[in-house]
Structure 1
Amino acid sequence: MRRSVILLALLCSLAAVAQSPAQESPQPPSNPSQANAENSQIAPELVDAEAAIVKSDWKTASFKLDAYLATHATDARALFDAGYVADHQDHLDAASSFYRRAIEANPNSFEAHLSLGLLLARQGKRDEARTELLAATTLDPGESGPAMKAHAWRALARLDNPGPDGEGNATEASKELLEALKLTPETTDDTLLAADLAEASGQHDAAEAAYRRVLAEDPKSVAANSGLAHVLIERKEFPEAEKLIRAALQQQPDDPALNAQFATVLAAQDDADALPLVQKLHAQHPADPAITRMLASVLAQSGDTAGSDKLYLALLAKSPDDVDLLVAHGQNLIRQQRFPDAMAAFDKATKLDSADADAWSGIAFAASKLNQPSLVIHALTVRSKYLPEGPATYFLWATSYDTLKDKMAAITYYHHFLDSSGGKFPDQEWQARQRLLVLEKSR
């Protein structure tokens, strides 16, 4: 049931990118408590406002800054302070406006560019955020020093990390992380980000090595256990992935992304515990289409094709041209012996994606049940361009040619079937042997 497709959608839906710029706090003014001592030209009202900022007294700071800006509307430092105060109070539109005004007053303000970039990232405005963060990396951080410059590079790298949503640029993110590492030593978060970027670039061995480095230092790291589990799931190494996820769940038992991973590995191993776990996830996130897909898949595996198809039909009502949903729906219809309806679902899927091998497999099987051997052969011919043959397809080839009275082709494919079946299909093997006795005798 296309578990890899379901997994990808599920993890994209639930997994939050660790250490995303969207999770970072706004950057504070540079040493505001020392402002008066370092610069005697700073107005007393601004010194008082920054002293309130140090105490996290946002109400007082806001009052003093508003009063000061009423007569000093282009003071870059005061505008940044006002943005910082608004940012900390989650008044994001006001904060954005103050940061932009600070940049207009002083285009070389490292702190204003950085803080605006982080705020825009939190709002999901990736392109605008990237512009501001990139600008920050070109500016002098002043008394903030190399550590804050490195912070800007790391924020940019995390923004460019493709992550679960697939957006971004792993190559650029890797370069940006390297720039940060030129300024400050590598941290555990850097190693985890490097692992994430390696995985996004298809470098699974490098990703695994990085995750294992973190686990060597901290075996309880949830991010490393989950990340390594994801690599192993992609390789279909489900038992080891299960161990890692169980270890992470001990730390965060209610984490939805971890539970989604756990459900994935259980379902992949046909573990009966998968169904109640996915049902629980679905109850917690009833509107999440990825979890609904997972539940529909697990229900189908458990034999509840009616319950499974009810979910697939609800999903198709919203996404009628989703090929994966159409194929899954068609497979449920096959199980319910509704072969004409299944044929219609598979046919629509192939019209949307002519290279979908699963849809062609479905057409071949449905056509065999509807006694359309020529269509079976056509579907199998197209399917063979994308997937290797196996016992099931060999048997369909053989019986279709047999029905069309092509003896030589039927004999060839019956032998292919018997050579590959290995005793796993006793009824079909008996039928193949009986037909071979007849066909070879009449040659």
Structure 2
Amino acid sequence: MKRILVSALTLAALVSAPAGAQTQESAGIQINQKTDAERIEFLLSVADAYFAEKEYESAVSAYERILEIDPNHQQSRYVIGHVYIEAKQYQKAEKLLSELVEDFPEDFKLKNNLAWLYATAEDPAVRDGHKAIALAQEAMAIDPYDHHVWSTLAEAYYVTGQYEKAYRAITHMASVATTHGQGVTQEQVDAYNEQIRKCKRAWDTQKMIEGTDDESEK
């Protein structure tokens, strides 16, 4: 946490300084102002540190400052969409990710992120399960072996009440992650297992209410 506090103080100084400021002389004291490239590099490290500590609002501020310096900074444009979702700034996330999907239609990760937003947004004005399904399927068509996409598709089916499809998608995700997944963390494993349990409970309940036998599972 100490790293975050130090970074926050320096970030405040960077935000107040004009972009592109050069070395100045004042009362015989030399003040070294960072170049734009140096400022961006530093702000990236600050944003990463905030994100790691789940300080999403502060991470957003750092990334937005980078985009003020360089509106076309590719890394920040990509990452801030995900950070907006975590910070629950859904309208900003939708606008940015929609623009990126239009600019880079073959990037399945962008489509997956936008699909995840539509599937999980707590704001009912943004949540749209059917849009999430369509985007997740488009992402899956580009890369059918990415487990994130199958997780997103399962969540999209879940929020639209298609519990059998949700359960089948999430169990297939587990198979894909086992075969093709790399660098899956324990935190992700726990989240996926909870998603599997959630989808199975919903499908089991639906079958019980509808009086469906277990033949459909075979």
Contact between 2:207 and 2:213, CA under 8 Å: does it hold in 1?
A: no
- Matching of residue 363 in structure 1 with residue 147 in structure 2: no
* Alignment partner, residue 113 of structure 2: 328
Alignment correspondent of 1:349: 139
Structure 2 unaligned spans of 5+: 14-31, 179-188
Q: Relative CO higher for 1 or 2, CA cutoff 8 Å, sep ≥ 6? A: 2
**SS in structure 1 opposite 2:54?**
coil
In the alignment, what sits opposite 1:383?
Answer: 173
Q: Secondary structure at the match of 1:390?
A: helix
Match of residue 294 from structure 1:
79
Q: What TM-score results when the alignment is normalised by the length of structure 2?
A: 0.67
Structure 1 alignment gaps of length 5 or more: 1-238, 410-443
Partner of 1:310: 95
| Residue 397 (1) aligns with residue 200 (2) | yes
Name the CA distance, whole Å, in 1 between partners of 2:34 and 2:49. Answer: 16
The 5 A counterparts of 1:172-183 are: none
Deviations 1:159-208 (A, max 9, x none): xxxxxxxxxxxxxxxxxxxxxxxxxxxxxxxxxxxxxxxxxxxxxxxxxx
CA–CA separation in structure 2 for the residues paired with 1:300 and 1:377: 24
What's the % identity of the aligned pairs? 15
> Does the 8 Å contact 1:343/1:366 carry over to 2?
yes
- Distance in 2 (CA, whole Å) between partners of 1:240 and 1:326 is 36
User: CA 1:330–1:252 in structure 2 vs 1: closer, same or farther (change >3 Å)?
Assistant: farther
Q: Give the partner amino acid of 2:106.
A: D
Q: Deviations over 1:335-368 (max 9, x none)?
A: 1220100100111111111122221111112112
Contact 1:248–1:258 (CA<8 Å) still a contact in 2? Answer: no
1:402 alignment partner, SS class: helix
1:268 aligns with 2:71: no
CA distance in 2, matches of 1:297, 1:314: 14
Structure 2 counterpart of 1:404, which letter? K
Deviations 1:364-392 (CA, angstroms, capped at 9, x unpaired)? 12112222222112201211121644223
Superposed, 1:13-412 pairs within 5 Å as: 255=38, 256-271=40-55, 272-334=57-119, 335=121, 336-385=126-175, 386=177, 388=189, 389-405=192-208
CA–CA distance in 2 between the matches of 1:241 and 1:323?
34
- Judge conservation of contact 2:140–2:149 (CA < 8 Å) in 1: yes
Give the aligned residue type for 2:149: A
From the superposition, tell whether residues 354 and 240 of structure 1 become closer, same or farther in structure 2 (CA, over 3 Å).
farther
Backbone CA RMSD of aligned residues: 3.1
Point out the structure with max Rg over C-alpha.
1
What SS class does the counterpart of residue 273 from structure 1 fall into? helix
Q: Deviations over 1:81-139 (max 9, x none)?
A: xxxxxxxxxxxxxxxxxxxxxxxxxxxxxxxxxxxxxxxxxxxxxxxxxxxxxxxxxxx
TM-score (norm: length of structure 1): 0.35
After superposition, what is the alpha-carbon deviation per residue over 1:138-174, rounded to whole angstroms, capped at 9, x for unaligned? xxxxxxxxxxxxxxxxxxxxxxxxxxxxxxxxxxxxx
Letter aligned with residue 159 of structure 2: K
Work out whether residues 312 and 329 of structure 1, in 8 Å CA contact, stay in contact via their aligned partners in 2.
yes
Q: When the two structures are aligned, how many residues end up with a matched partner? A: 171
Q: Which amino acid aligns with 2:133?
A: M
2:95 match: secondary structure: helix
Structure 1 residue 401: deviation in Å? 2.7
Local SS of the residue matching 1:404: helix
